[in-house]
Amino acid sequence: LVDLKEQGRARYIGVTVSQYELYDDLIRFLDSHQPDFIQVNYSISERLAENEIIPLAYDKGISIIVNRPFMNGYYFNALAETDLPDWAQAFGCHTWAEFSLKYILSNPMITSVLTETSNPDHMLENAGAAIGDMPDDQQRAQMASYIDSII
């Protein structure tokens, strides 16, 4: 792949890991390789990559693409009977989708998020999460704690 990139036949080289049991392999790979991007699972309810993989990639100048921001729908199912907390309006959240996406997008190490929808209305809602205020570090901690108490 590196040869193809050097020949101009490939623009970017990336690595996708979506299974937690392979995260140690990804860390070892990043210790000795420099892909242009990685793609990992990351959401407010799926934060395993947050403490080691994401900072490691970021420090090496590797772009980080987020996969499964809604855990393939599990996130919404788990919150179906739960109201969004009033304090989420302080940073422009009106839906659970915005809540998760604003958590992800407010992490300065994240490059982009792949959302999961086939519904055009949901697509617009997801895009709207990038508009307006983002939660600060204290609010992000409050968000994570709140989700941990529910899911």
**Backbone phi, psi, residue 25, to 5°:** -65, -40
> Quick one: pLDDT at residue 116?
77
Q: What domains are defined for the chain?
A: 2-150 (3.20.20.100)
The two three-digit tokens of residue 27, written as one number: 């860390």
The two three-digit tokens of residue 57, written as one number: 């990639």
Rounded (10°) CA dihedral 101, 106, 107, 112: 50
Question: pLDDT tens digit string along 61-77?
Answer: 999 999 999 999 999 99
Within 20-136, residue ranges assigned H as helices are: 23-32, 53-59, 74-78, 96-105, 120-128
- Which residues lie across from 43 on neighbouring strands? 46
Question: pLDDT tens digit string along 9-43?
Answer: 999 999 999 999 999 999 999 999 999 999 999 99
Question: pTM of this prediction?
Answer: 0.93
- Cβ atoms of 120 and 76 within 8 Å: the answer is no
Distances (CA, A) of 59 to 8, 19, 40: 26, 22, 16
- Cβ atoms of 99 and 88 within 8 Å: the answer is yes
Nearest to 88, CA basis, from 77, 75, 103, 73: 103
- Mean pLDDT, the chain, as a whole number? 96
